[in-house]
Structure 1
Amino acid sequence: MKFIERMKSIGPGALVAAAFIGPGTVTTCTVSGASYGYVLLWAMAFSIIATIILQEMSMRLGIVSREGLGEALRNQFKNPVAKNISIFLVISAIGIGCAAYETGNILGGAMGLSTVSRISSNVWGPILGIVALIILWTGSYKVVERVLIGLVIVMSVAFILTAIVIKPNLAEIFMGMIIPRLPDGAGLTVAVALIGTTVVPYNLFLHSSAVQEKWKDAKDLGIARFDAVFSIILGGIISMAIIVTAAAAFYGTDIEIKNAGQMAVQLEPLLGAWAKWFFSIGLFSAGFSSAVTAPLAAAFATSGALGWKRDLRAKNFRSIWLIVLLVGIIGSSLGYSPVQVIIFAQAANGILLPISAIYLVWVMNNRERLGQYVNTSLSNILGALVILVTIVLGARSLLSVISKIFG
């Protein structure tokens, strides 16, 4: 009965999971499974653990201090130079990250529509971006978001059921989860992209603000922790199911994943001829719902860091989400491959992640703000390990890109 009561309280954690189960996750996990089989499952397993560690800190910060990460960061430093540098770094990370995500979100939704309409993603992209702009401007996004998230949940269940139906090799899956390996070629980029699509920097800001509306004080930490851990693990299982189904459908065929129609093949064992339609509607829903929420997350984070009023109709607030959305609209119209753009966006976020994570761990050691709820030594060690791994992988990925640019 206690478990049922806890399930009824699920809220902000589900929002975090819904934010990372977008077109980026579907596409990146599909490319991972298709290109490398189960080899990169360890990157997803690490991502789930890392997300739980960091989101637990974010949740604890919001409930105990009644501040979002943006506000806490603004109040962390007394020295104006240190304060301004930190604010600039975080806003840059969130701004660049959300702008990259937004292009991928819009193109992900457009790729879903393109598959069933035969109209190019680069035509659908700007149209979806403009519709998202209208929805955000009128403030009616919550109704649309609920419907679209419902469709994403249905698609996610289909992936889990398909992963069961195809009866994969459990021993190989287990080995892929516990043995870190980086295959040749783009394996490093895909590994960083898997981390970047799951440990989402703007979710650290979103979660610390969202929990304040659901829970009021430290006595609620237990139920809030269950909400976060349960939701993130469920999201991780969905992501792993996508890798497993893609490995079964494509690995060893040397196929290059370019569109949603190809990705939909992995659901055919469960859905047959309906797979293409089902997958396309789910991908559109994942992309469009994220295209609406990502600009809002950027606006909440930036407004908090700069001390602006977090009002949906305030000019400063609107200007932030408008810039992020316009970058996405322009990026979606330039003619780039949707799959390549999405992988790049996730990799970019994986590289930028350490900036937000470092500041979160720093803020979580402020006893003046958090009292007895500051990070324990174990929390700090786990947080440091997450940051270290993301820095190493991100640096290697960045050096790989630079070496390719300069020959």
Structure 2
Amino acid sequence: MANAPHPAPGPEPKWNLVGPGLVVAATGVGAADLIATTVAGSKYGYALLWAVIAGCIMKVILVEGAGRYSLATGKTIFEGWSSLGRWTHWYFGPYIVIWGFVYGAAAMAGTGLALYSLFPFFSVFTWGVISGLLGLVLVWSGKYDVFEKALTAMVILMFITTITAAILTLPNLGEVLTGLIPYIPEGALINVLSVAGGVGGTITLAAYGYWLREKGWNTTRYMKVMRIDNGVAYLITGIFVVATLIVGAELLYSAGIAIGAGDRGMVDLATVLGERYGQWMSKLFLIGFCAATMSSLVGVWNGVSLMFADFAGYMLGRPHDDKSRLAGGVFYKAYIFWLTIPPMVMLYIGQPVYLILAYGVLGALFMPFMSVTLLWILNTDRVPREWRNGSFTNIMLTLCTLTFGALAIDQLRGLIF
């Protein structure tokens, strides 16, 4: 049976409101998630508000599970996956390599578009390259406090802009409350799953345990702190994701205005806000768009690089605390380079079809993979008995598995046909 790390004697742990939870939430909620929620509001009004809240709860459960495993065992989530068999390596290895290459290009394209919308004197490609290099510089040293402060500033900008936009639209509180009642409009099942599944990240959820370690929260003495941190982070996330749904419902749904998908939709929304409330609101919203895309980029450049360093070091037989498996090590920096430099070519010449197909297939399977493996790991002697799942957590993780499994089937069907 695994033994929990023994906390060293001393005073109770100190913490502040800004912790790894806000980092993982800020990284996970990018422009694509915000626009998906806005589009849901524009199509169905407040009918899917309950799905946004359900999505936040599901992510709280998943992130708490990843954090609890790390604190209870002193091991990383990849070491937990490895304990289930080598099949996890055959999935995770190709996934993190392909994902990083494709995501690097997509993230730079998104930030490039956001910056171009504000400062059109450079091209989208040039701004994308600048943002990628800026992300590289911010996280290259592996110093967590610098990274956390940068993410905090971006979260504040995201929060201010989305809340301001929601307040300006003067939401109907009575209709907002009706959206809390679970209801699936005709033909909206995939939208419900997408909204619930898209709130708050995918692979970056698994980075939570690594950020706990970087923060210095590394024993069971921090278990309560971790849970509060996680809950507060997703409460904040929920507020500004709900704010985007309000904007969609009040500004777009009532007027029958359609906007584009993906990052382009954020620019379209900024244009609509500018026409309705003045150019100052358009510029303010675009600043929030920049913050959303850049926070995701910087978070991935740090968090997923930590995961890759752990994976590469483990596969080469390096000890758990070997420098090469930690922030600032050789594998960490190699993956930052992989996220930044090779994708610039893809950003310039376009996306190869077969690579995108592999990215889509492996990415669709990640959330079911995470929820299933957490169910497995956290109900066995891989974790000390006192830190295993309770009935409620098991029920919620099962619901997560079903939800993300259905989304995966839909995504795979779309890729194949």
Q: What range is the shorter-chain TM-score in?
A: 0.7 to 0.9
Alpha-carbon distance between aligned partners in 1 of 2:15 and 2:160, rounded to the nearest angstrom: 18
- Give the whole-Å Cα distance in 2 for the aligned partners of 1:268 and 1:297: 35
Whole-Å separation in 1 of the counterparts to 2:224 and 2:345: 44
Residue 156 (structure 1) aligned to one of 156, 159, 162? 159
In the alignment, structure 1 residue 324 sits paired with structure 2 residue 336? no
Structure 2 counterparts to residues 241-390 of structure 1, below 5 A: 241-251=243-253, 252-257=255-260, 258-265=264-271, 272-306=278-312, 307=314, 309-326=324-341, 328-334=343-349, 349=363, 351-390=365-404
Counterpart of 1:247, as a letter, is: A
Q: Which moved more, 1:351-360 or 1:303-312?
A: 303-312
Deviations 1:136-188 (A, max 9, x none): 4465796476345414313313322432343323343344343342654xx56
SS in 1 for 2:86: helix
1:193-208 superposed matches below 5 A: 193-208=194-209
Secondary structure at the aligned position of 1:369 is classed as coil
The aligned length equals 383
Question: Take 1:62 and 1:181, find their aligned partners in 2: how far apart are those partners?
Answer: 37
- Conservation of the 8 A alpha-carbon contact between 1:141 and 1:292: no
| Contact 2:25-2:201 within 8 A present in 1 as well | no
1:94 deviates by 4.2
Report if the CA contact (8 A) 2:163-2:240 is conserved: yes
Aligned pair in 2 of structure 1 residues 260, 217: CA closer, same or farther (>3 Å)? closer
Deviation sequence 1:209-247 (CA, Å, 0-9, x none): 222344343243222211111111210111110111122
Distance 1:363 1:264, change over 3 A: same
Matched, 1:57 2:65: yes
Q: Secondary structure of the equivalent of 2:284?
A: helix
1:170 is matched with which residue: 167, 173, 178? 173
How far did residue 120 of structure 1 move? Answer: 4.1
SS at match of 1:178: coil
Mapped partners of 2:237, 2:205: distance in 1: 16
Counterpart of 2:45 in structure 1 is 37
Residue segments in structure 1 that go unaligned for 5+ positions in a row? 78-82, 337-344
| Equivalent position amino acid for 2:394 in 1 | N
Matched-pair contact (CA < 8 Å) for 1:197–1:349: no
The answer for the alignment partner of 2:211 in structure 1 is 210
Deviates further, 324-333 or 261-270: 261-270
- Taking a change above 3 Å as real, the CA distance of residues 140 and 10 of structure 1, as seen in their structure-2 partners, is closer
Cα 1:368–1:17, aligned 2, differ >3 Å: closer, same or farther? closer
Which is further off, 240-249 or 32-41? 32-41
Letter in 2 for 1:208: G
1:339 is aligned to none
CA contact (8 A) 1:193 1:346 kept: no
Report the Cα offset of residue 271 of structure 1: 6.7
Larger CA deviation: 149-158 vs 174-183: 174-183
In structure 2, what is the equivalent of residue 228 of structure 1? 230
Q: 1:14 aligns with which of 7, 22, 28?
A: 22
Unaligned regions of 5+ residues in structure 2, if any?
1-12, 319-323, 352-358
More helix by share: 1
Give 1:249 deviation, angstroms: 1.8
CA distance change for structure 1 residues 232 and 265 in 2, over 3 Å: closer, same or farther? same
Local SS of the residue matching 2:303: helix
What amino acid is aligned across from residue 321 of structure 1 in structure 2?
I
Separation in structure 2 between the aligned mates of residue 131 and residue 8 of structure 1, nearest angstrom:
27
**In structure 1, what residue type is equivalent to 2:184?**
R
Q: In the alignment, residue 381 of structure 1 is paired with which amino acid?
A: I
**TM-score, with length taken from structure 2:** 0.79
Distance 1:384 1:93, change over 3 A: farther
Shift of 1:194: 3.1
Moved more, 109-118 or 270-279: 270-279
CA distance, structure 2, for counterparts of residue 260 and residue 239 of structure 1: 14
CA distance, structure 2, for counterparts of residue 302 and residue 210 of structure 1: 13
